[in-house]
């Protein structure tokens, strides 16, 4: 059995600005600072502090930040942290010599810090977005665009003759995340985040597979690639490595690699122009922001382009792809457009064999973060445009007309409810059509009127004189890997075929059945999303915990191993496990120091519980016992009051990835993410939607991969995208207020995104929120099974993709199921002597009318301490054909689906704390 445990050691470091800053007094002068995990065992050690300047590495920003005194020094072993010292303020008169020696270095660090602070302040002032990694868009042909998403996935947007379809091209799991793709000589290459190249090949059964394609050089050093650029003639690829070298790949079938080294005293951080301005000349930018050119036919081969000494404006360049233009200043001129780190546009112009810098700047209060290379008319008498993305998420067009000196900035803004990703270049699909990655993982097309959009395929070339100058935005949906709703293409004949689309010839009835169309009046189009700022509420609400769903009700039961064991947390805080060993069932008690409230999740054999102090406790099995780890006491740990309603669905294989996480509701009303993959625990605060706190989690990644649906304390539905880290709210009418209980996702097929979220309204009615390709998002109110009966607790499990269990206020279990064309209710009653497994059924559903009447009569004959009606505790799916419920008297009852597809009460299970000692019936425990 695989085990799960967090890091054995929590590493932290402090940079000390003087060799004599800290002295550790010890009996052994040879003790190493690397042995800090033993310090807490020796009480005679003492820190002698001689400076006030200390630095701590901050993981969120990936930078060093200065710590403020007093500052506790901690040693952590197996998540148990002990204070071993303290950094205290030092008097100004102490150690003057140390401060003098540190002065110059400290001034340098201070200046750099002020620069970074200024940039961050400017970005906040103009609504700056966070940088996006891994995103790229590459045009293979007019009808094929390859995208690497923020999730590290690869997908292709392809025009099959009828419509645009999405095809997945994921790297193998062991390859990690993809960051870019290249097409050269009909061969596709992909670059992983780890710096490894992969080539797409066809397997023996003609299926595309990725094969590692490493650089072959004379050096035995392991070469890792950072980025690349294809030459203008499409015959070569130039790469820059992670250690700053320039590589050239000139052949693919018989790979021919050349190492061109790096500039003297510098490195290659980005390739801005693969031989286009001049043959064989490659322009690069160093990590320090300087422009270099590499010419193998000249001596020296590397030359640096410098600014004039009197230049006082922003001259440090951003290492990224540039835009090249020819004959902009005359018949024999070339231009290289670049961006500075300050966000300004500059030009390196070659005219009559002379180079010069031209500063174009930027509009007021705007900073450029990327530019999109465009194909332009090679005549210097025509107008020329650049499309640049700003730090605030807009696209600005820079137009240089044929009249010298006439230049205009045109702000095309961004699509509704979305912004353009920061620092990512777009592409020109065709003249007048441009594709830009959006900050939320989708794509945006900026196109001229009536010439583009998601429903328009590649169009023939249009005379520029007849083209409209008015641009509009269209949003292109992304696949589920990015958390969105684009369906993947299929091999079946039809409009979604991956190769050649065929018009859909299915009749209306077939279409209705396939797409789960709802009854008339409920197909009204819904607003997709509205953008919300991900900011945590600064106000504290002491009554928050009292308003949300109870952990004791929603998380008392949890499956450990499908069909073999489940956990019951009693009202007294004791955890019991019901286990099957060699077809014998028994209760196993798990001891812990503090009482438990509920079990909020399980992963890979580990159990996640919440104790009475709202701490997240992780239990790991050792034989029949559990060892307990306090997850809330870890670094960045939080107290929790809720978790995901369901784990991996029964009988579905779990896809283990490095991003495997569990989500919890924090005590302060925020969403908390705990990475549980790769034997480590790492917390992240995902905050909450603006103006509301989170009451409970509706669904975690069952309905949509990478998406967590939640209900706010305002009774509205929201979603969190764990790939982009963004919150979105879903439109719902004002009269519809959701309860604070978890929900249930229903998805009929993993191959289709069609499905629903089921929730309970505040007044006890069943509410459905569905999505399908034909109607998009929509709401359906299912009401209640009978007049006078409301639904209590949360929605139960969904099985078979079309059956949902619910608990009524009358103590009965109700089944809501899809019967070919409509939804139906079925009354399953409650477990008692009358509805014994194996009874003949007279109609559809769980129990016929005669048996329901008999059950109610026998209920009144129960003993005083027995109450067989079903409690509002959220039931759990034990297998794909079995559900476990809790009864009012503390017993448990199992319902199973027979071979005739009928649900029957199968057995009752006496729990260790039940008030009812009578056992009326107990079916075989097999």
- With b for 16 or more beta-carbon neighbours within 10 A and e for fewer, the 160-199 pattern comes to bebbbbbbebebeeebebbbbbbbbeeebbbbbbebbbbb
For tokens 């007094």, what's the residue? 25
Q: How confident is the model at residue 712 (pLDDT cuts 50, 70, 90)?
A: very high
**For residues 234-238, average pLDDT:** 92
What the block records as the tokens of 603 is 């992963």
Q: What is the pLDDT of residue 780?
A: 96
Beta bridge partners of 192: 178
Among 14-28, 432-446, 807-821, whose mean pLDDT is lowest? Answer: 14-28
User: In this predicted model, what pLDDT tens digit does every residue of 74-118 receive, in sequence order?
Assistant: 777 666 677 677 777 654 433 333 232 333 333 333 434 444 444
**For residues 20-42, average pLDDT:** 35
For tokens 């949906």, what's the residue? 477
Beta bridge partners of 206: none
User: In this predicted model, what pLDDT tens digit does every residue of 398-443 receive, in sequence order?
Assistant: 988 765 567 899 999 999 989 999 999 999 999 889 999 999 999 9
The Cα 458–Cα 452 span in angstroms is: 8
Whether residue 347 has pLDDT greater than 90: yes
Strands (E), 51-163: 54-58, 63-66, 71-77, 80-87, 136-141, 144-148, 154-159
CA 291 to each of CA 267, 287, 298, 641: distance values in angstroms, whole numbers, following the listed order: 11, 10, 17, 54
Q: What is the pLDDT of residue 428?
A: 94
Q: What is the pLDDT of residue 837?
A: 56
Q: What DSSP letter does each residue of 39-75 carry, written as one string?
A: GGG-TT-EEEE--S-EEEEETTTTEEEEPPSSEEEEE
Q: What is the pLDDT of residue 835?
A: 59
For 488-552, the three-class secondary structure string (H helix, E strand, C coil) is: ECECCCCCCECCCCCCCCCCHHHHHHHHCCCCCCCCCCCCCCEEECCCCCCCCCCCHHHHCCCHH
Q: What is the pLDDT of residue 64?
A: 75
Whether residue 622 has pLDDT greater than 90: no
The answer to whether 238 and 247 are in contact (CB under 8 A) is yes
Nearest residue to 747 (alpha-carbon basis) of 692, 716, 789, 705: 705
Of residues 923 and 724, which shows the higher confidence score? 724
SS3 at position 555: coil
For tokens 């409009």, what's the residue? 495
| CATH of 547-687 given 1.10.630.10, 2.130.10.10, 2.70.70.10, 1.20.144.10 | 2.130.10.10
Domain chopping of the chain, boundaries? 547-687, 785-925
CA 371 to each of CA 340, 343, 476: distance values in angstroms, whole numbers, following the listed order: 12, 11, 20
The Cα 631–Cα 22 span in angstroms is: 32
Q: What is the pLDDT of residue 834?
A: 58
Q: How confident is the model at residue 13 (pLDDT cuts 50, 70, 90)?
A: very low
Q: Please give the helix or strand (H or E) that residue 719 lies within, else none.
A: strand 717-721
What the block records as the tokens of 298 is 């000249």
CA 670 to each of CA 613, 673, 689, 696, 857: distance values in angstroms, whole numbers, following the listed order: 17, 10, 9, 10, 48
Q: What is the pLDDT of residue 362?
A: 94
User: In this predicted model, what pLDDT tens digit does every residue of 566-603 receive, in sequence order?
Assistant: 999 999 999 999 999 999 999 999 989 999 999 999 99
Cα Rg of the chain (Å, integer):
32
The answer to whether 739 and 783 are in contact (CB under 8 A) is no
Among 280-284, 656-660, 881-885, whose mean pLDDT is lowest? Answer: 656-660
The answer to whether 641 and 548 are in contact (CB under 8 A) is yes
Whether residue 140 has pLDDT greater than 90: yes
Mean pLDDT taken over the chain: 81
Whether residue 607 has pLDDT greater than 60: yes
- Within 13 Å of residue 353, how many CA atoms lie on the same side as its CB? 0
Of residues 760 and 232, which shows the higher confidence score? 760
The Cα 914–Cα 890 span in angstroms is: 4
Beta bridge partners of 455: none
Q: Cα 478 from chain centroid?
A: 13
**For residues 699-709, average pLDDT:** 95
The Cα 303–Cα 294 span in angstroms is: 7
Q: How confident is the model at residue 816 (pLDDT cuts 50, 70, 90)?
A: very high
Nearest residue to 155 (alpha-carbon basis) of 164, 166, 163: 166
**For residues 53-77, average pLDDT:** 72
Beta bridge partners of 159: 164
Of residues 543 and 394, which shows the higher confidence score? 394
Sign, CA dihedral 83-89-95-96, equals positive
Q: What DSSP letter does each residue of 332-389 carry, written as one string?
A: TEEEEEEEBTTS-EEEEEEETTEEEEEEEE--TT--EEEEE-----S-TTS-EEEEEE
SS3 at position 876: strand
Nearest residue to 161 (alpha-carbon basis) of 504, 506, 499, 430: 499
CA 541 to each of CA 86, 399, 692, 711: distance values in angstroms, whole numbers, following the listed order: 34, 52, 11, 17
Q: How confident is the model at residue 26 (pLDDT cuts 50, 70, 90)?
A: very low
For 776-821, the three-class secondary structure string (H helix, E strand, C coil) is: EEEEEEEECCCCCCCEECCCCCEECCCEEEEEECCCCEEEEEEECC
**For residues 473-499, average pLDDT:** 94
Q: How confident is the model at residue 855 (pLDDT cuts 50, 70, 90)?
A: low
Whether residue 4 has pLDDT greater than 70: no
Q: What is the pLDDT of residue 107?
A: 36
Among 551-560, 624-633, 850-859, whose mean pLDDT is lowest? Answer: 850-859
- Rounded to the nearest 10°, the torsion over CA 681, 687, 688, 691 is 160
Q: What is the pLDDT of residue 72?
A: 75
The Cα 737–Cα 784 span in angstroms is: 16
The Cα 189–Cα 180 span in angstroms is: 9
SS3 at position 293: strand
Of residues 705 and 2, which shows the higher confidence score? 705
The answer to whether 98 and 20 are in contact (CB under 8 A) is yes
Q: What is the pLDDT of residue 343?
A: 95
CA 262 to each of CA 193, 319, 528: distance values in angstroms, whole numbers, following the listed order: 22, 15, 49
User: In this predicted model, what pLDDT tens digit does every residue of 534-562 receive, in sequence order?
Assistant: 444 444 444 444 444 578 899 999 999 99
């Amino acid at each position: 059995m695989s085990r799960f445990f967090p890091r054995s050691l929590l590493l932290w470091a402090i940079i000390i600005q003087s060799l004599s800053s800290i002295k550790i007094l010890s009996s052994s002068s040879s003790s190493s600072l690397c042995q800090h995990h033993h310090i807490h065992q020796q009480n005679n050690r003492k820190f002698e502090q001689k400076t006030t300047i200390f630095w701590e590495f901050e993981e969120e920003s990936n930078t060093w930040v200065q710590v403020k005194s007093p500052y506790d020094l901690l040693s952590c072993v197996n998540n148990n942290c002990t204070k071993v010292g303290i950094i205290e303020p030092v008097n100004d008169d102490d150690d003057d010599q140390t401060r003098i020696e540190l002065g110059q270095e400290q001034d340098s660090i201070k200046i750099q810090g002020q620069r970074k602070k200024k940039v961050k302040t400017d970005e906040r002032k103009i609504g700056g977005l966070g940088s996006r990694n891994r995103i790229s868009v590459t045009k293979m042909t007019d009808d094929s665009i390859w995208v690497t998403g923020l999730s590290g996935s690869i997908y292709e947007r392809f025009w099959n003759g009828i419509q645009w379809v999405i095809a997945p091209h994921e790297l193998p799991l062991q390859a990690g995340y993809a960051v870019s793709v290249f097409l050269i000589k009909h061969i596709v290459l992909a670059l992983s985040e780890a710096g490894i190249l992969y080539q797409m090949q066809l397997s023996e059964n003609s299926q595309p597979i990725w094969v590692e394609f490493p650089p072959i050089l004379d050096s035995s050093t392991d070469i890792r690639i950072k980025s690349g650029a294809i030459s203008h003639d499409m015959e070569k690829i130039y790469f820059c490595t992670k250690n700053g070298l320039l590589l050239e790949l000139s052949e693919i079938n018989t790979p021919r690699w050349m190492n061109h080294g790096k500039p003297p005293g510098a490195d290659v951080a980005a390739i801005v122009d693969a031989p286009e301005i001049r043959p064989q000349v490659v322009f690069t930018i160093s990590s320090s922001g300087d422009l270099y050119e590499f010419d193998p036919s000249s001596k020296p081969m590397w030359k640096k382009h410098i600014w004039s000494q009197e230049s006082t404006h922003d001259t440090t360049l951003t290492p990224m792809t540039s835009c090249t233009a020819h004959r902009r200043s005359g018949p024999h001129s070339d231009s290289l457009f670049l961006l500075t780190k300050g966000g300004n546009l500059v030009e390196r112009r070659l005219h009559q064999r002379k180079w010069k810098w031209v500063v174009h700047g930027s509009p007021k209060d705007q900073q450029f973060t990327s530019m999109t290379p465009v194909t332009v008319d090679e005549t210097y008498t025509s107008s020329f445009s650049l499309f640049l993305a700003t730090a605030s998420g807009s696209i600005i067009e820079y137009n240089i007309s044929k009249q010298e000196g006439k230049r205009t900035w045109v702000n095309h803004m961004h699509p509704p409810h979305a912004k353009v990703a920061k620092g990512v270049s777009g592409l020109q699909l065709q003249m007048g059509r441009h594709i830009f990655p959006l900050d939320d993982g989708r794509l945006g097309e900026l196109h001229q009127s009536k010439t583009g959009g998601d429903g328009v395929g590649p169009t023939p070339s249009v005379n520029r004189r007849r083209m409209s100058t008015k641009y509009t935005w269209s949003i292109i949906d992304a696949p589920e890997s990015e958390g969105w709703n684009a369906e993947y293409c299929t091999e079946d004949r039809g409009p979604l075929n991956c190769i050649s689309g065929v018009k859909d010839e299915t009749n209306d009835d077939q279409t209705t059945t396939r797409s789960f169309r709802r009854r008339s009046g409920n197909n009204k189009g819904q607003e997709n999303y509205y953008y919300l700022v991900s900011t945590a509420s600064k106000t504290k609400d002491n009554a928050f915990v009292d308003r949300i769903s109870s952990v004791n009700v929603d998380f008392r039961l949890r499956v450990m191993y499908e069909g073999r064991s489940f956990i019951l947390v009693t009202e007294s805080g004791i955890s019991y496990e019901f286990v099957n060993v060699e077809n014998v069932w028994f209760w196993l008690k798990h001891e812990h120091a503090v009482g438990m409230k509920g079990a909020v999740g399980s992963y890979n054999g580990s159990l996640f519980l919440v104790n009475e102090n709202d701490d997240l406790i992780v239990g790991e099995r050792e034989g029949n016992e559990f060892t307990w780890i306090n997850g809330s006491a870890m670094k960045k740990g939080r107290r929790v009051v809720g978790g995901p309603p369901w784990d991996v669905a029964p009988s579905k294989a779990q896809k283990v990835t490095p991003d495997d996480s569990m989500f919890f509701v924090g005590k302060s009303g925020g969403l908390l993410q705990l990475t549980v993959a790769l034997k480590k625990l790492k917390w992240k605060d995902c905050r909450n939607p603006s103006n509301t706190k989170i009451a409970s989690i509706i669904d975690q990644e069952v309905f949509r991969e990478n998406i967590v649906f939640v209900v706010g304390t305002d009774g509205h539905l929201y979603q969190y995208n764990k790939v982009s880290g963004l919150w979105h709210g879903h439109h719902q009418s004002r009269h519809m207020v959701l309860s604070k209980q978890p929900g249930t996702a229903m998805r009929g097929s993993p191959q289709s995104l069609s499905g629903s979220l089921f929730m309970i309204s505040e007044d006890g009615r069943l509410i459905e929120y569905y999505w399908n390709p034909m109607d998009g998002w929509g709401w359906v109110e299912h009401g209640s099974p009978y007049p006078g009966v409301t639904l209590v607790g949360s929605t139960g499990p969904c099985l078979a993709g079309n059956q949902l269990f619910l608990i009524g206020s009358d103590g009965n279990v109700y089944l809501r199921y899809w019967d070919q064309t409509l939804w139906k209710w079925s009354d399953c009653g409650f477990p008692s002597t009358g509805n014994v497994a194996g009874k003949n059924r007279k109609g559809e559903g769980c129990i016929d009318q005669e048996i329901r009447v008999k059950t109610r009569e026998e209920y009144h004959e129960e003993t005083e301490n027995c109450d067989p009606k079903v409690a509002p505790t959220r039931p759990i799916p034990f297998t794909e054909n079995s559900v476990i419920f809790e009864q009012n008297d503390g017993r448990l009852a199992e319902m199973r689906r027979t071979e005739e597809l009928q649900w029957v009460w199968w057995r009752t299970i006496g729990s260790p704390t039940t008030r009812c000692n009578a056992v009326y019936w107990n079916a075989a425990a097999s």
